Amino acid sequence: MVQIRDTCDTYGAWVHVDGAFGLLGRILPSSSTDNRSDSPFTLGHPLHDSYSSIAIGCGGMELADSITGDSHKLLNVPYDCGFFFSRDLAIATQVFQNAGAAYLGGSFTEPDTITSPLHIGIENSRRFRALPVYATLVAHGRYGIEEMLRRQVKLVRKIAEYIRSNSFYELLPHDRHIGEHFIVVLFRLSTPRWNEKLVEKINSYRKIYVSGTVWEGQPACRIAISNHAVDVDADYELVKSLLEEVPLQLKQESLGLP
């Protein structure tokens, strides 16, 4: 990021960061010893409770000119709440400032203490999207949200560890350590000919929903954790028993067994 910032400064380019998920990663502690004096959390399993790789991955975001982040993902507020931070309010105001139509009322005569969204975005009418975000931030606070994210990351890493230990599967990317996982587990079956059926098969149980992707030219599967109600042990057991069952089922089917 430092290098990108320097280059952009040299050529006059704007740096934008897409922090859809990564923005919230910034609330996790950057050191694995987590000795921040104000943190109420104590260190547990080192593989599950080290966030230094996430801190590095999300590092330098503050050097950007603008940052977007999604609150309908990890903050679990209704769809389509996003954050948009910009260093330059004046640019948005120049572009989107309303000309002052009479029906738009008083906001043109009274000086605004908070810039109205009416003058800095493309929409004139909008739902009060900020309200659920505000309520969530107030209700859970910094540590409530941190605690939720820790549970989510812990579940991801337990699932990743399980996949790595089960010889039917390959954990991807091959060089990613358990402690480097954030909220996605990427994997595939080690038997290529069953791999195309993996996503459909897992979803057919209707217990979890996974999405398919391609990794190094081969089909792969993705588990993404973002639910606020994650219960590490219970959810881990559910995912584990499903992932145990699926390859056995695919094997039976490939042998033509019922």
* Contacting positions for ligand PLP (CB under 6 A): 18, 20-21, 70, 82
CB of 67 to ligand PLP, least distance (A): 12
- The least CB distance from residue 190 to ligand PLP, in Å, is 28
Please identify, using beta-carbon distances, which residue of 82 and 144 lies nearer to ligand PLP: 82
Minimal CB distance to ligand PLP: which residue? 20
Distances (CA, A) of 237 to 23, 155, 171: 29, 10, 18
Q: Smallest gap, in angstroms, from Cβ of residue 184 to ligand PLP?
A: 10
Nearest to 207 by CA among 192, 194, 223: 223
Q: Nearest 5°: phi and psi at 200? A: -60, -40
Three-state secondary-structure class, residue 80: coil
The residue (of 110 and 123) whose beta carbon lies closer to ligand PLP is 123
* Residue 19 burial (CB count, 10 A): 20
Residue with smaller CB distance to ligand PLP, 74 or 145: 74
Tokens at 108, concatenated: 């043109």
**Please, which residues have CB within 8 angstroms of residue 9's CB and are 6 or more apart in sequence?**
none
Q: From the CB of 70, what's the least distance to ligand PLP, in Å?
A: 5
The smaller minimum CB distance to ligand PLP, of residues 121 and 192, is found at 121
